[in-house]
Amino acid sequence: MLMNFTRCALGLTVVVVDVALPTAAFPQGTAELLFTGWGSQSVAGTLPVQLQRFQQQHITSQVCSTLLAAYEDVELGACHVCGFRQANIGACHGDSGGPLVYEGTLVGILNFFVPCAQGVPDLFMNIMYYRDWIRQTMSGNGKCSQVHKQQIG
Task: Return left, alpha or beta for 2; rule: phi > 0 is left, psi -120 to 50 is alpha, else beta.
Answer: beta
The answer to whether position 108 is within a domain reads yes
Q: What is the pLDDT of residue 1?
A: 44
Q: In degrees, to the nearest 5, what angle opens at C-alpha 78 toward C-alphas 75 and 84?
A: 70
CATH code (residue 121): 2.40.10.10
Q: What is the pLDDT of residue 11?
A: 57
pLDDT at 4 over 90: no
Q: What is the pLDDT of residue 6?
A: 54
Q: Is the dihedral of CA 115, 103, 130, 79 positive or negative?
A: negative
pTM above threshold 0.95? no
Count of the separate structural domains present in the chain: 1
80, 125 Cβ separation under 8 angstroms: yes
The answer to whether position 104 is within a domain reads yes
The answer to whether position 80 is within a domain reads yes
Please state the rounded mean pLDDT for residues 73-88.
88
Contacts of 16 (CB under 8 A, 6+ apart): 10
The answer to whether position 1 is within a domain reads no
Cis upstream peptide for 116 (omega within 30°): yes
pLDDT at 77 over 80: yes
Q: What is the pLDDT of residue 101?
A: 93
Q: What is the pLDDT of residue 3?
A: 53
pLDDT per residue over 91-101, tens digit each?
A: 999 999 999 99
The answer to whether position 89 is within a domain reads yes
Q: Which domain holds residue 51?
A: 22-137
The answer to whether position 60 is within a domain reads yes
